[in-house]
Structure 1
Amino acid sequence: MAETVFTPSLEGMKHVKAENGVILTKPFLEVCKQILPVLDKFGAAMAIVKSDIGGNITRLENKYSSDPSKYEHLYTMVQEEVQNKTAKGSSSCTNGLLWLTRAMDFLVELFRNLLEHPDWTMSQACTDSYTKTLKKFHGWLASSSFTRNG
């Protein structure tokens, strides 16, 4: 199979889980970071998405870096915030992880649309992907802003 911009991410995915199935923080974040240069190829249309993804990765990386052995497993961050009753805060790692995974769901759907519908415009592909993945989590303002500019 020919190498694509996705090859490093696909290779990295093989190292995200520990033998017992838990997600390892550093490899997970490394795979997430691999998508950022891909988003640059889309220009300004993906600037906000890239910024959000990058910000959430940085938030999680900062927590991980504060104690790499303690936060080796991604779940440890969430578990700690749930116990401390800080998980629902807008600046929590739990919230960052939630939005990071939602953004990745959106991108997977976008790439699927671009592959399966070569006749669609970028706007059509983005709007469809947004509707299927993120719209239900956004208020009307964010939703209308995205579809108008998407």
Structure 2
Amino acid sequence: MYQKLRYLILKHANRYGSLLSPALEALEHVRSEDGKILTKPFLDVCKTVLPILDKFGGAFSFVKSDIGGNIERLETQYDSDSLKYKFLHIMIQREVETKTERIQSSCTNSILWLSRSMDYTVQLFKNLQEHEDWSMKHVCRDSYDKTFKKWHNWLASSTFNVGLKLVPDRKSFMEAIGTGDLSSDIEKFCDSFSLVLAENHKVLASVNMDNRKI
């Protein structure tokens, strides 16, 4: 399934410019008419990040694996009753009602860690946009320090440090994610997705789940 998705995203990127183009298109459909975050479109946006992480090679395979696992868990719940779980935050609400939100395999926990992974991705692109003189390692390190670091234990931080040694150089990465008006795509992606992620964190904080660590 992922290989098919990857092919479609790359095909779209080749046609329209950067690998962020599919994400921008998906973000247009992430909210309902009354502004609620829709489950499937949100997951579709998150899926578009995976081919971007591919461009790091094996450097952040652990992040990609974590994202994929959380998407799969949330999709399974959504597919079990797409009407009931049409809105993403309903999953949190239902688990709070049944006192299951703190279980490791809960959808609430998946929304938390998926949102944090997306926070990292957004911060990475912000750093690329705002600090043209930074190396890719500097970009990745600063992004990690501002997002994941305070939630990770020693083992998770060590895994990141190993991956950091394998990141491609900045020029190669930028060329790999596409052409077109890349700067504009990055700005739109960061601005739009940040608002969605901030809402997720607000809901998670309201049920005392946004400060959870590994």
> Shorter-chain TM-score: what band?
over 0.9
The structure 2 residue matched to 1:41, chosen from 55, 59, 74, is 55
The one-character-per-residue Cα deviations of 1:71-101 (angstroms, maximum 9, x if unpaired) are: 1111111111001111011110000000000
- The aligned counterpart of 1:93 is 107
- The aligned counterpart of 1:62 is 76
Does 1:51 find its partner at 2:73? no
- The aligned counterpart of 1:24 is 38
Deviation larger for 135-144 or 115-124: 115-124
Counting only pairs closer than 5 Å after superposition, residues 1-150 of structure 1 correspond to structure 2 as 3-150=17-164
Give aligned-pair identity as a percent: 57
TM norm structure 1: 0.92
Q: CA deviation at 1:62?
A: 0.4
Q: CA deviation at 1:148?
A: 4.4
Q: CA deviation at 1:29?
A: 0.6
Structure 2's unaligned 5+ residue stretches are 1-15, 165-214
TM norm structure 2: 0.66
Count of residue pairs brought into register by the alignment: 149
Contact 2:58–2:163 (Cα < 8 Å) also in 1: no
Contact 2:60–2:160 (Cα < 8 Å) also in 1: no
The one-character-per-residue Cα deviations of 1:86-136 (angstroms, maximum 9, x if unpaired) are: 101111000000000000000111122223334333222111100001111
SS at match of 2:96: helix
- Matched AA of 2:98: N
Q: In the superposition, relative to structure 1, how do residues 42 and 145 fare at CA in structure 2: closer, same or farther (>3 Å)? A: closer
In structure 2, how many angstroms separate the alpha carbons of the residues matched to 1:71 and 1:116?
37
Structural RMSD (CA) = 1.4
The one-character-per-residue Cα deviations of 1:46-71 (angstroms, maximum 9, x if unpaired) are: 21111111110001000000111111
In structure 2, how many angstroms separate the alpha carbons of the residues matched to 1:141 and 1:82?
29
Structure 1's unaligned 5+ residue stretches are none
